[in-house]
Structure 1
Amino acid sequence: MIWLGGLIVLLTFVAIIKKYETRMVLFLSGLLMAILSGKPLEAITAFQAAMINGGLVPVICTVMGFAFVMRLTKCDSHLVHLLAGPLTKFRAILIPGAVLVTWTINIALPSAAAVGAILIPALMAAGVHPAMAASAVLAGTWGSVISPGNSHNPFVAKLANVDVMTVIATLSSTALITAVVVAIGLTITAFVRKENQGYTSEVTLSDKDEFKVNILKAVVPMVPLILLVLGSKQLHVIPEVTVPQAMIFGAILGFVVTWQNPQEITKQFFNGMGDAYGNVIGIIIAAAVFTKGMELIGLTGSLIAVMKNSQSIAKFAATFGPFVVAILSGSGDAAALAFNGAITPHAKQFGYGIIEMGSTAQMVGALGRSMSPVAGAAIVCAQLAKVSPIEMTKRNGPIMLLGAIVMMMGML
């Protein structure tokens, strides 16, 4: 029965890689394993429990609601222009700066399209090869790993029975070091390939439309993050602020600063919440059924028994399992959620912390996605630069692998 479960898991990830609907594949695989174990109703119970998970639903839904409001009010564009503007004045730091600016913006807002639309033409106008310009932006899109609204951080926090900011405090230093390593690595790649200068673009930096940055509007997307950091247990400068409180305050502040129609702001906030529930929470719910099926069929217990005998097996499974699946599928979510749901709760048995193992799985999944030619962000960046996504994978691939190794060494 265990071998049958292993085959189902393998076919599950093959189906995800082939772009079948992720929620359908995870749900049906979990339900099939539950049926084979003779306990199908327990899979449905897991589905129901995940639907009303108090540690995940309010956090993820309010973050996406806030993001929708920032898009409506154009505050996200002002933030992007504020951070991207200085890069055009210092050509020597264009490539590492583009990686780190994209990474920083993605902590507050998942906006690969918005960042790419500004930075990619700017890099090309400065003489950077189009494929390298797109690669630099794609290489920074994993900054969301230290966002309190990233679905994995509240998930890991729930497993470890801590608050979200404790998880972020644990992983942020390693994530930042990895971001710098990625930025430097891609810069060296550009120099070696002679793609850091010399490209002739139809648009020059002086020809680009001027965008007047409103500082107040640019600051608004960062306010919730600032409140969460200041109210965290690590600093406690202000009373503790929850993620939903911070996001709702940020949405209200967006209205005050831009004076947009409050009805439209309200509609967009709730549209964002609905989108988050269907597309993000939906995957978490389906993954809960999948991990329950693995448990019922005995596969989880067998994997734990194997990993108990070797810390290195657990370390490499947490790192390269999500990494490889993310490269092939374009999304690190399914693999990381499956791993964290089934294996990470038992991390202490392998000699690791739950936060460390869970965070490693989700971060390397994000790194894998940032070199995948089939990831949504890669396709957007490729279109903006008018290059093939494969060209970006050629440049980002070795650097993201190095980043995954740095991540593993820093966390486990």
Structure 2
Amino acid sequence: MLLLLGGIVVLITVYCLVKQYESRMVLFCAGVVLAFMAGDFMGPFKAFSHAMLETKLFESIVSVMGFAMVMKVTECDKHLINLLIKPLKKAGPLLIPATTLVTLFINTSITSSAGCSAAVGSILIPLLMAAGIHPAIAAAAIYAGTYGAIFNPGYAQVAIVVNVAKSTPVAVVANHFTALLTAGVIGAFSLLVVAYLRKENKGYELSAEKVAEDVTGAFKVNLLRAFMPLLPIVILVTGSMNVIAAFKPLQISHAMIIGVFCAFIVTRVNPAKISKEFWHGVGDSFGHVFGIIICALVFVGGMQSVGLIKALIDLMVANPSIAKISSAAGPFILGVMSGSGDAAAVAFNKAVTPEAVKFGLSAMDMGSMAAIGGALGRSMSPVAGGLIICAGLAGVSPMEVAKRNAPGMVLACVATLILLLYK
């Protein structure tokens, strides 16, 4: 009976997430209800305290988000985006997939899907529309590339997989690099096929007053500023590969701080302003990203109290094929419904992934699959914040954008599942 009641609470939780009630509130309250049902009155409080002590996750996440805010205030992100516009203009028939892949690349440093959508979409969506591409395809081309953050060793979802798999950030990224890149290529070219089939790859006429200044080529790109958003990633990769031995001892947060100082030297923006924005990003990351992680862990603790996690793991142990499929399908479907892949991926990776060896899988593969699956699902969700931003910039309905991204995201999820869990 307790399992049945627990299952009902979980379904209600999913419904509330789909209806876009505040995710932290929903997850936390559901965890408390589940624990109290099982008579574990201290469970939620212990889970909360344990989550607050996740210092390794905290250090990586807050430094990355702080760095991202500095890139915004110094406009280094804008220089990187405009630098990449030039080759895009020469892409010809491949303009649509090229835009998606460029966004995928930019998202490695502008890790917020909504932030990346706003920064990149405001420049590239008018460019695509000016080239005759239908507005819905233009918006979809941007949002189809907003899961490139999983290439970033400091990204929150990567940090969670690192923690569960007892590995290193670069090792986790290297492990899913090929699968994630394949997913990006599939999503990009699937959108091109959709555009051709719908005859939306050319012929759209954009009124002259809607063409942004940046699209006309008026923006002057500074190569040094354009490189700044990529500097921490270069430091981490070259250090871990021992290309530059001096970088090897540096942690993710160290690379981000070096990036902040280099951005100041290059741009000479008021240091007080840079400091303020860095700590603003730190605070936002704690309240939003880390807040979701904390509340998701309280929810997972509640499910453990009523025995749902043990029942799920026992089922997966008896049927290993279910474990493989559920690690992709579960976060993917919830990502589509809720518009956020984070809550589902965090909950799955904290609850199920530590037991991966029982299913004949590695925690690293299973964790990456859950993270990527959630991100792919979110990338075709009509209620995702970033997709709504792209649709608004293009002047179309979010559902029209989601429909065009759907085939590519489904195919990309299947391909990722095969490459990561059936290798």
Letter in 2 for 1:380: I
Q: Given the alignment of the two structures, is residue 66 of structure 1 paired with residue 74 of structure 2, yes or no?
A: no
Taking the TM superposition and a 5 Å limit, the aligned residue runs for 1:125-144 are 125-144=130-149
Q: Whole-Å Cα distance in 2 between the matches of residues 189 and 234 of structure 1?
A: 43
Which of 247, 258, 266 is the aligned partner of 2:256? 247
Task: Give the whole-Å Cα distance in 2 for the aligned partners of 1:123 and 1:185.
Answer: 17
| Equivalent position SS for 2:55 | coil
Q: Which residue of 2 aligns with 1:174?
A: 179
Q: For the Cα contact (< 8 Å) 1:134–1:392, is it kept in 2? A: yes
Identify if the C-alpha distance between structure 1 residues 235 and 314 changes in structure 2 by more than 3 Å, giving closer, same or farther. farther
Once the two structures are superposed, what CA deviation does each residue of 1:313-372 show, in whole Å capped at 9, x if it has no partner?
Answer: 111111111111111111011111111111111011001110111110110110111111
Give distance in 2, aligned partners of 1:23 and 1:234: 40
Does 1:376 find its partner at 2:385? yes
**Is 1:309 equivalent to 2:310 in the alignment?**
no
* SS of equivalent residue, structure 2 residue 221: coil
Aligned 8 A contact 1:135 1:396 in 2: yes
The CA distance in 2 between the partners of 1:235 and 1:348, in whole Å, is 33
* Contact 2:242/2:248 (8 A) holds in 1: no
Are the aligned partners of 1:88 and 1:205 in contact in 2 as well (CA < 8 Å)?
A: no
Please give the residue correspondences for 1:208-223 in structure 2 after superposition, counting only pairs within 5 Å: 208-223=216-231
What's the CA shift for 1:166?
1.2
TM-score where L is the length of structure 2: 0.95
Task: Specify the code of the residue in structure 1 equivalent to 2:135.
Answer: P
Q: Distance in 2 between matches of 1:395 and 1:343?
A: 32
1:203-242 superposed matches below 5 A: 203=208, 208-232=216-240, 237=245, 238-242=247-251
Deviation at 1:226, TM superposition (A): 0.5
What amino acid is the match of 2:359?
F
Structure 2 letter corresponding to 1:242:
Q
| Cα pair 1:125 1:205 within 8 Å, conserved | no
CA distance in 2 between partners of 1:208 and 1:376 (Å): 28
Letter in 2 for 1:216: L
Alignment match of 2:362 (pick from 353, 372, 382):
353
Aligned residue number for residue 21 of structure 1: 22
The C-alpha deviation readout for 1:259-302, integer Å capped at 9, x for no partner, is: 01111111111110000000010000001111111111111000
Q: Is the 8 A contact 2:71 2:77 kept in 1?
A: yes
Aligned equivalents of 1:27, 1:143: Cα separation in 2: 29
> Could you tell me how far apart the structure 2 residues matched to 1:205 and 1:297 are?
55
Mapped to 2, the partners of 1:223 and 1:184 lie a distance apart of: 29
Asked if 1:123 corresponds to 2:128, the answer is yes
SS at match of 1:107: coil
1:209 Cα offset (Å):
4.9
1:381-409 deviation line (CA, Å, top 9, x unaligned): 00111000111111111111001100101
Confirm whether residue 293 of structure 1 aligns to residue 302 of structure 2: yes
Aligned length: 412
Q: Is the 8 A contact 2:134 2:204 kept in 1?
A: yes
Q: Is the 8 A contact 2:123 2:212 kept in 1?
A: no
Q: How far apart are the structure 2 equivalents of 1:235 and 1:40?
A: 52
Partners of 1:106 and 1:154 lie apart in 2 by 16
Q: Trace 1:154-165 onto structure 2 (pairs within 5 A).
A: 154-165=159-170
Q: What percent identity do the matched residue pairs reach?
A: 45
**Aligned-pair CA distance for 1:85:** 2.3
Cα distance, 1:234–1:308 mapped onto 2, change above 3 Å:
farther
Q: What SS does the corresponding residue of 1:141 show, helix, strand or coil? A: coil
Contact 1:79 1:217 in 2 (8 A): yes
1:321 corresponding residue in structure 2: 330
What is residue 348 of structure 2 aligned with on the other side?
339
How far residue 76 of structure 1 moved from its aligned partner, in angstroms, is: 0.5
The more displaced of 214-223 and 308-317 is: 308-317
Q: Which amino acid aligns with 1:359?
A: S
In the alignment, the residues of structure 2 paired with residue 387 and residue 234 of structure 1 have an alpha-carbon distance, to the nearest angstrom, of 48
CA distance in 1, matches of 2:347, 2:242: 30
Residue in structure 2 matched with residue 108 of structure 1 by the alignment:
109
Mind listing any 5+ residue stretches in structure 1 that lack a counterpart?
A: none
What is the CA distance between 1:240 and its match in structure 2? Answer: 3.3
Q: CA-atom RMSD, angstroms?
A: 1.5
Residues in 1 aligned to 2:41 and 2:162: alpha-carbon distance in whole angstroms:
28
Question: Distance between the aligned counterparts of 1:9 and 1:84, measured in 2?
Answer: 45
Change (3 A) 1:95 1:393: same
Q: Which moved more, 1:34-43 or 1:393-402?
A: 34-43
Instruction: Flag the 1:357–1:377 CA change in 2: closer, same or farther, 3 A.
Output: same
Deviates more, 1:199-208 or 1:328-337: 199-208
Following superposition, the deviation at residue 149 of structure 1 comes to: 2.8
CA distance in 1, matches of 2:180, 2:212: 32
